[in-house]
Amino acid sequence: GAGVSQSPSNKVTEKGKDVELRCDPISGHTALYWYRQRLGQGLEFLIYFQGNSAPDKSGLPSDRFSAERTGESVSTLTIQRTQQEDSAVYLCASSSPRQANTEAFFGQGTRLTVV
């Protein structure tokens, strides 16, 4: 596609429910990142996929959070048993680190509201 696509754009869910957020990276980009941004705050790293390497999950805040990526394409971030503190914008980005020093391209994010 022309850019990184995230869906849904907005999601309102009840506390305790599970949610799935989707990210379609730019075709050919081997690296994919998930970040969380709470209102008025900076970007908090969650997870990083790079090609066939084991993902860097060091940023996932709890075992309620998990993410998968199918090859070098779509990724899904799953939050189980959502809590109000999970309310944030979840941003996905992709890049092509096969080329040295490349920029990351961001999607428009999914705004998650847990009520």
Q: Summarize as ranges the residues that interact with other proteins (CB under 8 A).
A: 4, 33, 35, 37, 39, 41-43, 45, 48, 50, 56, 59, 89, 91, 93, 97, 101, 103-109
Task: Find all residues with CB under 8 Å of 28, minimum gap 6, and list them.
Answer: 72, 96
Minimum CB separation of residue 16 from other proteins in Å reads 26
Minimum CB separation of residue 103 from other proteins in Å reads 4
Minimum CB separation of residue 2 from other proteins in Å reads 13
Closest by Cα among 101, 96, 113, 89 to 35: 89
In the complex with other proteins, the residue whose CB is nearer, 45 or 62, is 45
